[in-house]
């Protein structure tokens, strides 16, 4: 199977790290958002976007029945809330703090000043959008043609590759919401992977013990 590590990325990690100092100069000081806080909420207009200095965020959408569909996770040095670039438009997703997180708010005019100061940032922002689109397109295909086991192993492999760690601090409910399956299906697949010695479950989350065998199960 050809190795395609850049097929997608369910975890966006340090994409904007080279531009942190730019944002520190142009934005209000970082502020603490406690775990569980919804920084952005679907359907609500805030007129603010954010730079994530430190923490872990969950990006998801919910339907009228209360079902959550996780789209991606964001780690340190990333931008979010960009769907509200036009201050009159509401957010199309909800973004929630998985951990206590430090964020810097900014608005469209601040973003413009950052681009003027460093045109390289404008190119990096386009590349970031391309990465987001690539992930969304991959996820759409992954959800439509693969069974629950393949969706979950694809997710675990891509997530741990992006994080640089085999540890996934995530409940089975969040795992299920990330791959669009029931909690019982996620638990069943995790049980199979555990029996095969590929993962170890411990507390709230799991650890990938054998990334090569996990990669062999992927369909990327």
pLDDT tens digit string along 23-52? 999 999 999 999 999 999 988 877 889 999
CA distance 97 to 100: 6
Nearest to 156 by CA among 132, 180, 175, 133: 175
- The pLDDT, as a whole number, for residue 4 is 47
Cα–Cα nearest to 85, from 46, 53, 52, 114: 46
Q: How far is CA 16 from the centre of its chain?
A: 14
- pLDDT tens digits, one per residue of 141-180: 777 788 889 889 999 998 898 888 889 888 888 888 888 8
Q: What is the pLDDT of residue 205?
A: 87
Record the pTM. 0.81
Give me the DSSP letters along 77-128: SEEE-GGGSSTTSPPSSEEEESS-EEEEEE-HHHHHHHHHH-HHHHHHHHHH
Compute the Cα dihedral for 70, 75, 147, 133 and give only its sign: positive
Q: What is the pLDDT of residues 172-216, one digit of tens each?
A: 888 888 888 888 888 899 999 999 999 888 878 899 999 999 999
Helix pair 172-179, 183-195: axis angle to 10 deg:
110
Cβ neighbour number for residue 175 with a 10 Å cutoff: 24
Supply φ then ψ for residue 164, to 5 degrees.
75, 15
- What domains are there in the chain, each with its CATH number? 11-120 (2.60.120.10), 146-217 (1.10.10.10)
């Amino acid at each position: 199977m050809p190795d395609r590590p850049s097929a997608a990325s369910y975890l966006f990690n340090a994409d904007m790290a080279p531009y942190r100092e730019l944002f520190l100069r142009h934005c209000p000081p970082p502020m603490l958002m406690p775990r569980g806080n919804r920084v952005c909420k679907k359907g609500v207009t805030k007129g603010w976007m954010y730079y994530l200095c430190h923490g872990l965020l969950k990006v998801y959408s919910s339907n009228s029945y209360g079902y959550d569909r996780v789209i991606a996770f964001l780690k340190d040095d990333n931008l979010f809330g960009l769907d509200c670039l036009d201050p009159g438009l509401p957010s199309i997703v909800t973004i929630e703090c998985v951990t206590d997180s430090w964020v810097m708010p900014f608005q469209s005019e601040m973003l413009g000043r950052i681009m003027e100061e460093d045109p390289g940032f404008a190119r990096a922002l386009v590349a970031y959008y391309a990465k987001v689109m690539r992930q969304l397109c991959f996820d759409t295909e992954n959800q439509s043609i693969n069974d629950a086991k393949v969706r979950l192993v694809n997710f675990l492999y891509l997530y741990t590759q992006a994080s640089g760690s085999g540890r996934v601090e995530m409940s089975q409910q969040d795992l299920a919401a990330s791959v669009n399956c029931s909690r019982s299906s996620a638990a069943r697949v995790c049980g199979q992977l555990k029996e095969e010695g590929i993962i170890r479950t411990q507390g709230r989350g799991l650890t990938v013990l054998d990334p090569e065998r996990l990669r062999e199960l992927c369909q990327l």
